Structure 1
Amino acid sequence: MHTDRSSRLHDLFTDSRVLVCASMLMAVLVVGSHTAQRSQVVYISEEGGSRAVLSSQQPGAYHQNKQLLERQGITLREKDNLQVTRKSGCAQLLIQRAIQIPITCDGSQLTATLEAGTTARQALAACGITLGGQDMLSLPLDTVLHQGDSLQLRRVEERQQVETTVLPAPVQNVYTSVLPQGQVLVRQYGSDGAQQTVTDIRYVDGQETQRTTGTPQLLYQPTPQIQLVGQPGAAVSELDFDDLQLDENGVPRNYSRVQRGAKTTGYSVRPGQGTASGRAPVPGIVAVDPRKIPYGTRMYIRSADGQFVYGCAIAGETGTAMTEGWVDLDLLYGSYQESCYHGVRAVDIYFLD
């Protein structure tokens, strides 16, 4: 370190100055008392070595010291540091030479001339180089630089790449025999969802060195599209009876009676609407004349040829059309469009209780 070199030079001077001063003073006495009165010993030290000279000029101002050194063939260059000390009757001029430090930064290299003892932090500041928070320097900032050292500054930049991905709305097909085969009717339109993925990218001197992709984060959930697909024999009802068994023709094996050719219509309900029996209005709840078919009666409903199947049904609602005898049953559907497709149909009603 700079202080170590100064200390070495200073110790060297201290150890030998008595002998040197004594020798030089003896030389002065031999020359003559008049010369002795005007001359003194000056000890000159620098990294390459040291010497003692006899000078009639007292070390003082910088220009005087510079002239004294030049008479000894020693030139002070830019950034050289000169220290003057006095002790034991001798003057000492300690020269600390400037250092040349190559600095590589932003794709170019420069050589900085710096005073001895300069730190890496001071070297960057002297060259007008700003250090970013993530930048990497080849030496710690507080390192005292020496001749032969070099500094390499690598610019570090961290960026984020945000990618939004569309999550397509899933399609749920619900098969129903109220529609002609293959016909599609959308019961609920879907909407796409989205998720976001953040990738952290690290660049060193403009080159990507690291990429870290985080876990995708859901922005909003896709809403499924529910569509009805016509399929002969597919049940409309959402109800199911555990004790119901059908034969190979799709007819209940056990029932109390059957009403063939019953006249039916279809209906739907508004959101939040209830039923006369208090049951939840879902496909499978049918409107009846409760005087003829009590609420809670279980039925299985299908066309005679089995192409249309309403399926498991429970009496749970009523209406004028039933009580006045216009139709036998009004079958509940999940949407108004489905109920319109039902129209007026003749079905067989199998009473299961």
Structure 2
Amino acid sequence: MVEKFKTYLKKYFPIGLRVEIIAVVILSVLIGVIFSTRKTIVVSVDGRSKKITTFCSTYRKVLDNSGISIGPKDKVKPSLDSRVENNTTLKIKRVVKVKVEADNKKLNLESAEDNVEDMLKAEKIGISKLDIVYPSRKHELKKGMNVVVTRVKTKDIKEDRPINYDTILKSDEQVENGTKKVVQEGQNGEKETVTRVVYQNGKEVSKKVISEIIKKQPVQKVIAIGTLTNYTPSRGTNLNYVESLQMRATAYTADYASTGKNPGDPAFGITASGTVARRNNGDYSSVAVDPRVIPLGTKLYIEGYGYAIAEDTGGAIKGNRLDLFFDSSSEVDNWGVRWVNVYVIR
């Protein structure tokens, strides 16, 4: 290509003009080379920018020629040894001085990291997820900052603990009033607990039960409280009762006037319970009651009448009333109507 160019010059241009043309071509080539190696970049140092025109091939040479020094911990992007690209920005972040308290040590450090967490990693100060870092891990690193790392550890302690049994009281009509009787002894239960203890810098700061497993249920202690009250009739021995009532008492016999039945009737003298109505001095006699007040079969002691058992009912015996059985009309007439104290006995 060059030989053809020389031949072309010799054939069409005189020697003087040829020299001038060659000089112009060489100059053009030189100018092209110069412009191809000339680059303009922006150097930003901690946010302050400066435009620099350079012929250097790497950013390190650009900074050296510009008198811009780089410390060992300063951060530079792109890297110092990468090739210079036209119209790029070289970012330089200078270190700041910070203090770090961790593991019973106080350190004076320099760092150009963006936040607290990155600084600690760069300084090989490991932190766990539980550790407390102040200021926060993502807090922007600033000059003069004091960073405190509190080491946090937990320990789970497993132990068996007793479950205290409850004591319950229940009324018992079979036990004399005011008397206590242990019906069932109590037994403690057992549970397995896991307690989490939290330590900060080796010192215990809190503990909390995080789980409980019942291994044995407790057994209640049952104490019977007697409700059976003592009563002494005017004649006879003491008797125990569970309830006392004041009731209006009338009297009846098995005759037609009282029951509407005559001798020979299959139901003559038969109570609502199916028993034969009877009057037993010193033993249980038949009485008629309202079953809603005194259930049939209930044993009673009636002042002025004696022991009785609720076996019968009557159309007029409603509510707080009872009808006492006698063997004769004269006894019925003699009783009449009166208010009496009635004791429910067991």
Which category of TM-score, normalised to the shorter sequence, fits these structures? Answer: 0.3 to 0.5
More strand by share: 2
Higher-Rg structure is 2
Q: TM-score, normalised by structure 1?
A: 0.39
Relative contact order, CA 8 A, sep 6+: which one is greater? 1
